[in-house]
């Protein structure tokens, strides 16, 4: 068994994931050994978990538009890894999905990310991913962190979550799509062309 398959089996066998495994639900993440770009967000959506296709929803459509990638490039370029903070849909809360489970990323990110040694740009999508990876380096709010995205380059590119629940945020902060998105697209294009 290769290392990627071994890690996958360990995730499935982990007692923290027993409820999902017993229901026949598999972890949803994506490893590409040659990936140059990594997406880290909170967790798969319910639809993603049901279809076993990450970012296959309106949020994914908007994310691909922000990245300047077609569906074909996003899913089949071999340049993109997807490693959420939790590999399972955590359930619904009062305002959107529940947060990723505590301890999950601490346990599984290091071994999974070691499978993608060529990653040079990591998109940190949403507050959970930014808090986990930027820690004390992040600003006081998500808006400030995203506005100061250049402070985290070239390793990290923090952005707001593309969820329809954030359309109001985007309307209040037009600078994001006017200034930040073109910079993101340029960085993505540069990496895909290398």
pLDDT per residue of the chain (194 residues) written in tens, 0 to 9: 599 999 999 999 999 999 999 999 999 999 999 999 999 999 998 888 999 999 999 999 999 999 999 999 999 999 999 999 999 999 888 777 889 999 999 999 999 999 999 999 999 999 999 999 999 999 999 999 999 999 999 999 999 999 988 989 999 999 999 999 999 999 999 999 98
89-97 long-range Cβ contacts below 8 angstroms, 24+ apart: 89/43, 89/44, 89/45, 89/46, 89/48, 89/49, 90/43, 92/46, 95/165, 96/163, 96/165, 97/42, 97/43, 97/45, 97/46
Q: How far is CA 86 from CA 107, 182, 190, in A?
A: 10, 29, 29
């Amino acid at each position: 068994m290769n290392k990627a398959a071994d890690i996958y089996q360990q995730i499935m066998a982990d007692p923290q994931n027993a409820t999902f495994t017993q229901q026949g639900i598999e972890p949803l993440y994506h490893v590409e050994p040659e990936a140059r770009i990594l997406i880290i967000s909170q967790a798969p959506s319910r639809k993603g978990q049901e279809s076993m296709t990450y970012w296959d929803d309106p949020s994914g459509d908007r994310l691909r538009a922000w990245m300047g990638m077609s569906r074909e490039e996003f899913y089949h370029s071999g340049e993109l890894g997807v490693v959420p903070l939790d590999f399972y849909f955590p359930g619904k809360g009062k305002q959107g999905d529940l947060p990723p489970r505590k301890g999950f990323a601490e346990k599984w990110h290091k071994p999974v990310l070691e499978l993608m040694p060529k990653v040079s740009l990591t998109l940190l999508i949403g507050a959970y991913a930014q808090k986990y990876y930027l820690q004390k380096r992040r600003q006081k709010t998500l808006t400030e962190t995203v506005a100061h995205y250049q402070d985290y380059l070239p390793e990290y590119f923090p952005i707001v979550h593309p969820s329809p629940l954030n359309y109001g945020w985007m309307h209040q902060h037009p600078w994001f799509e006017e200034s930040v998105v073109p910079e993101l697209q340029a960085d993505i294009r540069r990496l895909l062309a290398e």
